[in-house]
């Protein structure tokens, strides 16, 4: 799930564009995938079915190899939709119920895949950032919180401490809301609530309100995901201020306390939560689409190229245009995977090159999560990977933005090929936003596989940084996750064409060299890589 801000939308581009007709094929894929005919490409819908079959048919035409008897690898999904008028979030302060409106003050739900779940009179505890990170000598869970409801801050302490703890202002995985809910469950909390604050979250409350209301897709779990906390939710900053005021303190003071390794969880005396969540459940089957070109000398070593094919489908409650076409996000990346597949189907690299169209990224990186749990290859045999997640057609640039810059030995390889085109690698402009943890590649990185994630450049040949930043902001403000994300006549495809060539050469290099790139020393994933290689 992405947010553009000053770094253009997450992109990764790869393809070879040796002739005008080659690039015309790429553009045709983008236009087709982003057409109304594909209905916004939501998993489990007619448009989603059409999309995955379109990719699989392309692989068939190229004669790609498959892992098993089909390019379509099943991903079973369960949607949990909170029935709001039958559910309740009763937060009491000294015996009096606090009036909170859903979803303007609070959003909540459960990831347990059951018809209903409830609990009564769970004591609230403020646990700072909700982080338990032994490698940073940091533990916000110094008391037993089993059965309690933990309240915590967004991001990690490095955002405020700016260099003295964690990874400075750059967000680590400990700052992601996904981690916070995972850790709360490991600690046995009945409820887990994050306090929203726009700057450290890097998005306004509206993103939380829109993203957390309505049906929430997840993988289908045999145990119905019972191991998760009963309730997961968010509250507005103003609500947190109300709660802290009754404790004789305020948000700023509580945050200041949380910015110390010596922080002790603070029981929020007199505050209890009772909640009931009634759910509508829906199961569906979607598919990742996976094919590969077998290597001539090292067929059991793999280079991965991936992009998510799904988008947000149709919203029939909207007036006017109801289709979320997802042209930039991510018809462009999906078409790049398809284009690269065609390029390498005409070659025979030494290592195998795998082309992956992922489902359910917009629902929480679900397709990639499922694939790494059921991988058809050993993690240690994967040389590295590229994630292709959307690139606007705004013309040629002098740079390529690397999200999570300084992470792995893939960067100098890419830099070599970029410099041949007169381009340079630029660090992410907003590392505190944690974009590195918000797209499909992160599930592979968490298995130790070196991954690179790049945005399109914003230092434009025609107009420089000023024009590039304006283009990024315009997309984020006006088109990102909106029906207006469509292919337009004024698109300047020239930058995409150039970058496709650069990434093609990069992949070709990885697939034909004998190198085994790793994460740099000090990176959080290096130990995992070393273990998988051993």
* Residue 173 belongs to a domain: yes
Tally Cβ neighbours within 10 Å of residue 131: 25
CA distance 379 to 531: 10
Owning domain of residue 418: 20-65+294-533
Judge whether residue 2 has pLDDT over 50: no
∠ CA 240-246-249, nearest 5°, is: 75
326 in the same domain as 263: no
Q: What is the pLDDT of residue 432?
A: 83
What pLDDT, on a 0 to 100 scale, did the predictor assign at position 172?
A: 87
Summary mean pLDDT of the chain: 92
pLDDT one-digit tens code per residue, 230-260: 999 999 999 999 999 999 999 999 999 999 9
Which among 287, 362, 303 has a CA at the least distance from the CA of 76? 287
Q: CA-CA distance, 272 to 281, in Å (whole number)?
A: 28
Residue 19: pLDDT band by 50, 70, 90 thresholds? low
CATH of the domain at 378: 3.40.630.10
Task: Give the count of domains, the chain.
Answer: 2
Q: Please report whether residue 11 resides in a domain.
A: no
Higher-scoring residue by pLDDT: 227, 173: 227
271 and 335 inside one domain: no
234 and 183, same structural domain?
yes
Look at residue 332 in the predicted model and tell me its pLDDT.
96
How far is the C-alpha of 275 from the C-alpha of 218, rounded, in Å? Answer: 21
Q: Does a structural domain hold residue 288?
A: no
Cα 445 to Cα 384, 388, 524: the distances in Å are 9, 15, 10
Whether residues 53 and 117 share a domain: the answer is: no
Asked if pLDDT for residue 12 goes beyond 50, the answer is no
Which of 442, 394, 386 is closest to 417 using CA atoms?
386
Q: State residue 10's pLDDT score.
A: 36
**Structural domain includes residue 13:** no
| Distance of alpha carbon 381 from alpha carbon 302, whole angstroms | 6
pLDDT digits (tens, 9 = 90+) for 21-33: 789 999 999 999 9
Determine phi and psi for 356, rounding to 5 degrees.
-125, 120
* Whether residue 309 sits in one domain with residue 276: no
In a domain, 325, yes or no: yes
Judgement on whether residues 180 and 328 belong to the same structural domain of the protein: no
Domain-embedded: residue 45: yes
Same domain, 324 and 470: yes
Q: Which residues pair with residue 400 across a beta bridge?
A: 425, 456
Determine the average pLDDT of the residues in 216-236.
95
Give the C-alpha separation, 24 to 29, whole Å.
Answer: 9
Q: Is 376 in the same domain as 472?
A: yes
The token pair that represents 476 in the structure block: 């984020």
Do the domain assignments include residue 140? yes
Instruction: Check pLDDT > 70 for residue 98.
Output: yes
210 in any annotated domain: yes
- What pLDDT shows up at residue 477? 81
**Cα–Cα distances in angstroms (integers) from residue 85 to residues 101, 143, 154, 230, 312, in the given order:** 12, 35, 28, 18, 25
Q: How confident is the model at residue 20 (pLDDT cuts 50, 70, 90)?
A: low
Cβ atoms of 14 and 386 within 8 Å: the answer is yes
Q: Rounded distance, CA 337 to CA 356, Å?
A: 7
């Amino acid at each position: 799930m992405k947010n553009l801000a000053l770094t253009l939308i997450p992109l990764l581009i790869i393809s070879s564009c040796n002739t005008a007709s080659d690039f015309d094929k790429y553009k045709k894929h983008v236009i087709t995938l982003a057409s109304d005919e594909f209905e916004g490409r939501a998993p489990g819908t007619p448009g989603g079915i059409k999309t995955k079959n379109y990719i699989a048919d392309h692989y068939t035409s190229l004669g790609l190899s498959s892992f098993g008897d089909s390019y379509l690898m099943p991903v079973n999904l369960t949607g949990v939709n909170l029935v709001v008028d039958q559910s309740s979030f009763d937060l009491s302060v000294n015996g009096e119920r606090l009036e909170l409106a859903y979803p303007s003050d609070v959003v909540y739900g459960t990831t347990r895949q059951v018809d209903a779940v409830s609990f009564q009179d769970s004591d609230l505890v403020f646990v700072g950032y909700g982080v338990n990170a032994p490698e940073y000598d940091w533990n916000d869970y110094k008391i037993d919180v089993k059965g309690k409801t933990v309240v915590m801050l967004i991001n990690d302490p490095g955002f405020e401490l700016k260099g003295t703890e964690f990874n400075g202002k750059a967000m680590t995985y400990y700052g992601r809301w996904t981690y916070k809910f995972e850790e709360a469950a490991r600690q046995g909390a009945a409820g887990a609530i994050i306090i929203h604050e726009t700057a450290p979250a890097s998005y306004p409350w509206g993103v939380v309100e829109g993203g957390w209301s309505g049906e929430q897709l997840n993988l289908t779990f045999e145990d119905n995901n019972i191991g998760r906390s009963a309730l997961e939710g968010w509250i507005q900053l103003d609500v947190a201020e109300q709660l802290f005021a009754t404790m004789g303190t305020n948000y700023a003071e509580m945050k200041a306390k949380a910015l110390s390794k010596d922080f002790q969880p603070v029981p929020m005396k007199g505050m209890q939560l009772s909640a009931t969540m009634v759910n509508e459940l829906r199961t569906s089957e979607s598919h990742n689409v996976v094919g590969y070109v077998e290597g001539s000398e090292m067929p059991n070593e793999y280079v991965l190229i991936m992009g998510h094919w799904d988008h947000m489908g149709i919203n029939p409650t909207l007036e006017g245009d109801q289709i979320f076409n997802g042209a930039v996000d991510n018809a462009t990346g999906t078409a790049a995977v398809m284009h690269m597949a065609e390029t390498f189907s005409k070659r025979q690299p030494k290592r195998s090159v795998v082309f992956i169209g992922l489902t359910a990224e917009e629902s929480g990186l679900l397709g990639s999560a499922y694939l790494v749990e059921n991988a058809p290859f050993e993690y240690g045999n994967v040389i590295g990977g590229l994630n292709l997640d959307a690139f606007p057609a705004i013309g040629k640039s002098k740079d390529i933005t690397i999200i999570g810059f300084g992470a792995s030995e893939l960067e100098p390889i890419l830099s070599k090929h970029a410099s041949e085109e007169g381009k340079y690698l630029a660090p992410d402009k907003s590392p505190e936003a944690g974009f590195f943890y918000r797209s499909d590649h992160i599930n592979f990185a968490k298995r130790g596989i070196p991954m690179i994630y790049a945005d399109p450049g914003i230092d434009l040949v025609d107009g420089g940084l000023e024009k590039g930043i304006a283009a990024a902001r315009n997309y984020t403000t006006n088109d990102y996750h909106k029906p207006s994300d469509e292919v337009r006549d004024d698109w300047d495809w020239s930058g995409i064409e150039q970058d496709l060539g650069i990434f093609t050469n990069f992949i070709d290099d990885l697939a034909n060299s004998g190198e085994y790139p790793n994460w740099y020393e000090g990176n959080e994933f290096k130990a995992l890589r070393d273990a998988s290689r051993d």
